[in-house]
C-alpha cells in the first residue's frame, strides 16, 4: 500500500513556497482544485441539509424581494416602467452573488484559523471557494428564473450567447475583491464592518431597483463608480433589451474584471504568508 | 547526497501582543490611555538552529514545553516562515502533517465526506482520494459508520478516522506532533505500526514527543531543544539521557 519514496536527488526550495511568485501561486491553486471542489460542495450540502424546502429557499428569497420592490415602486410610488420585474431580477441576482461573495470572502481567512495553523495549502483556496459557492447559487437560481422571464417577456435573442461571458467577467471581478478583502480583514478586522456600509451604498449606486435609462446623463457616469453597474447593465441589455451591451458597458466590465482580479490576487499573494501570525 | 530537509541557521521570532485589538476605537483610545496601548514583546521560539535530515531518517524532536519543537515542525511544513535563516525542502516532495488530529473535519458531514474533504486539504486529487478510500475505511475499522454524520461519532472514532486519513496520505515526509498523547493502547499500537511501515518504505519521519518510550522505539536520532536552541543532535539513547538530565534541572 505504501508507495516507495522517490530516490532522485532534487534541488532544495523554500518550505513555505515563498519563492513561488504570482504565477507559481496560480499553478498551486490548479493543483488544489479538488480541495476547492470539496469546499464548494461542502457549503452547498450544509446549506440545504436538514431543511425541508432545501433549494426552494434560494428561489424564495429573490422572489420576496421582487414582490416588495414591485409593490413599493410600481403601486405605491407609481413609478411605472416596462419590464420592471425582469430588470429588477437581472439586478438582484447578480448583486446577491457579488455581495454574498464579498461578505463570505472577507471572513474566509480569519474564520479558518485552525486550518491555517495546522496545514499548509494555497491560502487563496479559501476565499475562492466562497466565491464559487455563491456562483453556484447564482447559476442555479438564474437557470430557474431566466427561461421563465424570457418566455413571459418574449425577449430571447442571439445576444444571449454573451450571457456566460458576462458571468465569467463578473466572477473574475468578484474573486479579486473577495481575495483583497480576505487579506485585508486578516490585518484589520474593521474592514468587515466597513464592507457592510460600502455594500449598502453600492446597492443604491447600482441600477438595480431603478431604471438606468431614467437617470440624468450626468449621473450615469457616477454610477459607473460602482463595480457592479456595468455587469448589471450588461445582463439587462442582453436579456431584456435583446442586444449586445453598449460599448462603454463592455469596456467598464472588462476593466473591472481585469483590474479587480489581478489586483486582488497580487495583494493576496503578497501577504499570504503573514496571515497565520495575524489570526 | 542532497538532504531532504535542510534547516540553515533558522531563527523564529513571534510577537506576543498584549491588549491587542484590531478595531479602530481601541486604537484611537490607546493614544490617550497609555496603559491600554498595545505592547509587543518578542519571543524567540528558535535561535540559530541548523538541522539536516536525509531520506529515510526518523528524527525525534524532544524538549520541554515551549522549547520550540512545534515551531520547528510548522516551519518545515511551510505554515510559518523563519525570521532569519532558510528552511529548505527538496523540490516536489509531499510533506504530510499531523499537527492536530481532525482539523478541517466537519461535524455535520458524514465520515465519507470528511475523508474526501480532509484528503483534499492535504492536496490529493480526486483520483488519488478514490484510490486510498478503501484503505482508509479498512484502517479506521469504521466501515459501518461511513455514512453517519461525524457529530454522532465518539471522540475515539473521530480520532481513528483522522489518523486513518493521515496514515494513507502517503507523503514522503511525515511530521507528527504528539498524537500519541491521545487514544487507547490499541490505537497507539496501530500508530506505531504505521510509522514502522513508513520507515521500512524509506520514508522520513519527524516526530515531536514527550514519551521517551515511543521516541526510543521509533527514532534512531533525536534533536534536543531548549529555549529555542539546539542542545543536542545525535543518537537517540544519548539524546534521551541528556533530556532526562535536563528535566532534573529546574526550568529557567
Q: Which residue on chain A is closest to B2 by alpha carbon?
A: A9
Task: Give contacts of B122 with chain A, Cβ < 8 Å.
Answer: 119, 121
- B197 within domain boundaries: yes
CB contact under 8 A, B87 and A6: no
**Cα–Cα separations (whole angstroms), residue A55 to A8, A272, B219:** 51, 35, 53
Predicted confidence band of residue A51 (pLDDT cuts 50, 70, 90): confident
In the predicted structure, residue A137 carries a pLDDT above the cut 60: yes
Quick: pLDDT tens for B25-35: 676 777 777 66
Residue B81 · residue A18 · CB < 8 Å:
yes
- B127 within domain boundaries: yes
β-partners of residue B13 are B44
Among the residue ranges A227-231, B23-27, B64-68, B172-176, the one predicted with the least confidence is B23-27
Quick: pLDDT tens for B117-161: 999 998 899 999 999 999 999 998 899 999 999 999 988 888 889
Count of the separate structural domains present in chain B: 1
In the predicted structure, residue A279 carries a pLDDT above the cut 50: yes
pLDDT for residue B206: 93
d(CA B115, CA B121): 10
pLDDT for residue A87: 92
pLDDT for residue B22: 59
Cβ-Cβ contacts under 8 Å between A and B: the total is 141
pLDDT for residue A67: 85
B71 interfaces chain A, CB cutoff of 8 Å: no
In the predicted structure, residue A18 carries a pLDDT above the cut 90: no
Q: Please name the residues between 194 and 223 in chain B that touch chain A, using a CB distance below 8 Å.
A: 197-198, 201-204
CB contact under 8 A, A12 and B89: yes
A35 interfaces chain B, CB cutoff of 8 Å: yes
pLDDT for residue B102: 72
How many residues in total does chain B contain? 252
| CATH assignment of the domain containing B163 | 3.40.50.300
Q: Which residue on chain B is closest to A120 by alpha carbon?
A: B79
Task: Give contacts of A49 with chain B, Cβ < 8 Å.
Answer: 108
In the predicted structure, residue A201 carries a pLDDT above the cut 90: yes
In the predicted structure, residue A54 carries a pLDDT above the cut 90: no
ipTM: 0.85
Q: Which residue in B85, B103, B121 has the most chain A C-beta atoms within 10 A of its own C-beta, making it the best mutation to test that interface?
A: B121
Q: Please name the residues between 129 and 188 in chain B that touch chain A, using a CB distance below 8 Å.
A: 129, 135, 168, 170, 172
What value does the mean pLDDT of chain A take?
Answer: 91
Q: Compute, in degrees rounded to 10, the torsion defined by CA atoms A54, A56, A57, A58.
A: 110
A5 interfaces chain B, CB cutoff of 8 Å: yes
* Comparison of pLDDT for B24 and B163, the residue scoring more: B163
CB contact under 8 A, B168 and A3: no
Query: Coil, strand or helix: which one is A75?
Result: helix
Predicted confidence band of residue A242 (pLDDT cuts 50, 70, 90): very high
CB contact under 8 A, A119 and B122: yes
d(CA B240, CA B63): 10
User: Shortest Cα distance from A47 to chain B (angstroms)?
Assistant: 11
pLDDT for residue B145: 94
- B36 within domain boundaries: no
In the predicted structure, residue B97 carries a pLDDT above the cut 90: no
Name the range with the highest mean pLDDT among A174-178, B63-67, B124-128, B218-222.
A174-178
Pick from B14, B89, B202: which is nearest to A13 by CB?
A: B89
User: Shortest Cα distance from A99 to chain B (angstroms)?
Assistant: 23
Instruction: Determine the structural domain holding residue B102 and report its residue range.
Output: 58-83+92-248
* Comparison of pLDDT for B104 and A190, the residue scoring more: A190
Q: What percent of chain B has pLDDT above 90?
A: 49
Q: Model pTM?
A: 0.90
Q: Which residue in A9, A35, A272 has the most chain B C-beta atoms within 10 A of its own C-beta, making it the best mutation to test that interface?
A: A35
User: Shortest Cα distance from A14 to chain B (angstroms)?
Assistant: 5
- B15 within domain boundaries: no
In the predicted structure, residue B37 carries a pLDDT above the cut 80: no
Mean pLDDT calculated for residue range A114-131 = 94
User: Shortest Cα distance from A97 to chain B (angstroms)?
Assistant: 24
Quick: pLDDT tens for B186-200: 877 888 888 888 889
pLDDT for residue A241: 95
| Per-residue DSSP letter, B25 | H
Q: Domain boundaries in chain A?
A: 86-277
- B131 within domain boundaries: yes
In the predicted structure, residue A150 carries a pLDDT above the cut 60: yes
CB contact under 8 A, B77 and A15: yes
Quick: pLDDT tens for A266-276: 999 999 999 99
Q: Which residue in B24, B38, B52, B79 has the most chain A C-beta atoms within 10 A of its own C-beta, making it the best mutation to test that interface?
A: B79
Task: Give contacts of B90 with chain A, Cβ < 8 Å.
Answer: 9-13
pLDDT for residue A69: 83
In the predicted structure, residue A80 carries a pLDDT above the cut 90: no
User: Shortest Cα distance from A51 to chain B (angstroms)?
Assistant: 13
In the predicted structure, residue B184 carries a pLDDT above the cut 80: no
Predicted confidence band of residue B2 (pLDDT cuts 50, 70, 90): confident
Mean pLDDT calculated for residue range A193-217 = 93
Predicted confidence band of residue B36 (pLDDT cuts 50, 70, 90): low
- B47 within domain boundaries: no
d(CA A71, CA B120): 48
* Comparison of pLDDT for B38 and A191, the residue scoring more: A191
* Comparison of pLDDT for A234 and A7, the residue scoring more: A234
In the predicted structure, residue B86 carries a pLDDT above the cut 80: yes
A6 interfaces chain B, CB cutoff of 8 Å: yes
- B24 within domain boundaries: no
In the predicted structure, residue B182 carries a pLDDT above the cut 70: no
**Cα–Cα separations (whole angstroms), residue B98 to A57, A61, A196, A272, B164:** 39, 42, 38, 22, 11
Q: Which residue in B123, B149, B173 has the most chain A C-beta atoms within 10 A of its own C-beta, making it the best mutation to test that interface?
A: B123
Quick: pLDDT tens for B60-80: 999 998 899 999 999 999 999
What value does the mean pLDDT of chain B take?
Answer: 87
pLDDT for residue A1: 46
DSSP H or E run through B86: strand B84-90
pLDDT for residue B23: 63
Q: Is the dihedral of CA A41, A47, A53, A56 positive or negative?
A: negative
Predicted confidence band of residue B94 (pLDDT cuts 50, 70, 90): confident
Mean pLDDT calculated for residue range A193-221 = 92
User: Shortest Cα distance from A153 to chain B (angstroms)?
Assistant: 43
Amino acid at each position: 500500500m505504501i508507495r516507495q519514496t522517490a530516490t532522485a536527488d532534487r534541488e532544495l526550495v523554500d518550505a513555505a513556497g515563498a519563492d513561488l511568485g504570482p504565477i507559481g501561486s496560480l499553478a498551486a491553486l490548479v493543483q488544489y482544485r479538488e480541495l476547492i471542489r470539496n469546499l464548494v460542495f461542502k457549503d452547498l450540502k450544509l446549506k440545504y441539509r436538514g431543511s425541508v424546502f432545501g433549494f426552494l429557499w434560494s428561489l424564495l428569497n429573490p422572489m420576496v424581494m421582487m414582490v416588495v420592490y414591485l409593490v413599493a415602486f410600481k403601486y405605491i410610488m407609481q413609478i411605472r416602467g416596462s419590464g420592471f420585474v425582469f430588470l429588477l431580477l437581472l439586478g438582484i441576482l447578480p448583486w446577491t452573488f457579488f455581495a454574498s461573495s464579498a461578505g463570505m470572502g472577507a471572513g474566509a481567512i480569519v474564520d479558518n484559523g485552525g486550518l491555517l495553523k495546522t496545514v499548509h495549502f494555497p491560502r487563496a483556496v479559501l476565499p475562492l471557494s466562497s466565491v464559487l459557492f455563491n456562483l453556484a447559487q447564482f447559476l442555479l437560481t438564474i437557470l430557474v428564473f431566466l427561461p421563465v422571464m424570457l418566455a413571459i417577456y418574449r425577449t430571447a435573442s442571439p445576444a444571449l450567447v454573451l450571457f456566460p461571458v458576462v458571468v465569467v467577467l463578473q466572477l473574475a471581478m468578484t474573486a479579486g475583491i473577495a481575495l483583497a478583502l480576505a487579506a485585508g480583514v486578516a490585518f484589520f478586522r474593521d474592514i468587515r464592518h466597513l464592507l457592510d456600509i460600502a455594500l449598502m451604498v453600492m446597492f443604491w449606486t447600482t441600477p438595480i431597483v431603478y431604471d438606468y435609462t431614467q437617470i440624468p446623463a450626468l449621473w450615469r457616469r457616477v454610477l459607473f463608480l460602482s463595480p457592479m453597474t456595468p455587469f448589471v447593465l450588461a445582463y439587462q441589455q442582453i436579456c431584456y433589451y435583446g442586444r449586445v451591451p453598449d460599448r462603454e458597458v463592455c469596456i467598464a466590465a472588462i476593466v473591472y474584471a481585469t483590474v479587480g482580479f489581478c489586483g486582488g490576487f497580487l495583494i493576496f499573494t503578497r501577504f499570504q504568508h503573514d496571515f497565520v501570525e495575524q489570526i | 547526497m542532497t538532504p531532504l530537509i535542510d534547516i540553515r541557521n533558522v531563527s523564529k521570532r513571534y510577537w506576543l501582543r498584549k491588549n491587542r485589538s484590531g478595531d479602530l476605537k481601541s486604537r484611537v483610545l490607546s493614544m490617550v490611555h497609555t496603559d491600554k496601548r498595545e505592547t509587543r514583546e518578542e519571543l524567540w521560539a528558535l535561535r540559530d538552529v541548523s538541522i539536516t535530515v536525509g531520506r529515510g531518517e526518523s528524527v525525534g524532536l524532544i524538549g520541554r514545553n515551549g522549547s520550540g519543537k512545534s515551531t520547528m515542525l510548522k516551519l518545515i511544513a511551510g505554515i510559518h516562515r523563519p525570521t532569519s535563516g532558510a528552511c529548505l525542502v527538496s523540490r516536489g516532495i509531499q510533506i504530510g502533517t499531523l499537527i492536530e488530529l481532525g482539523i478541517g473535519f466537519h461535524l455535520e458531514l458524514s465520515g465519507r465526506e470528511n475523508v474526501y474533504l480532509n484528503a483534499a486539504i492535504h492536496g490529493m486529487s480526486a483520483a488519488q482520494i478514490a484510490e486510498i478510500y478503501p484503505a482508509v475505511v479498512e484502517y479506521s475499522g469504521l466501515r459501518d459508520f461511513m455514512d453517519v454524520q461525524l457529530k454522532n461519532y465518539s471522540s475515539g472514532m473521530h480520532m481513528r478516522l483522522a489518523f486513518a486519513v493521515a496514515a494513507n496520505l502517503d507523503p514522503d515526509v511525515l511530521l507528527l506532533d504528539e498524537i500519541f498523547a491521545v487514544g487507547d493502547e490499541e490505537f497507539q499500537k496501530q500508530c506505531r505500526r504505521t510509522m514502522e511501515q513508513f520507515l521500512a518504505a524509506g520514508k522520513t519521519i519527524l516526530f515531536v514527543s514527550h514519551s521517551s518510550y515511543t521516541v526510543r522505539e521509533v527514532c534512531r536520532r533525536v534533536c534536543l531543544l531548549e529555549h529555542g536552541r539546539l542542545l543536542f543532535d545525535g543518537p537517540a539513547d544519548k539524546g534521551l539521557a541528556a533530556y532526562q538530565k535536563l528535566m532534573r534541572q529546574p526550568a529557567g
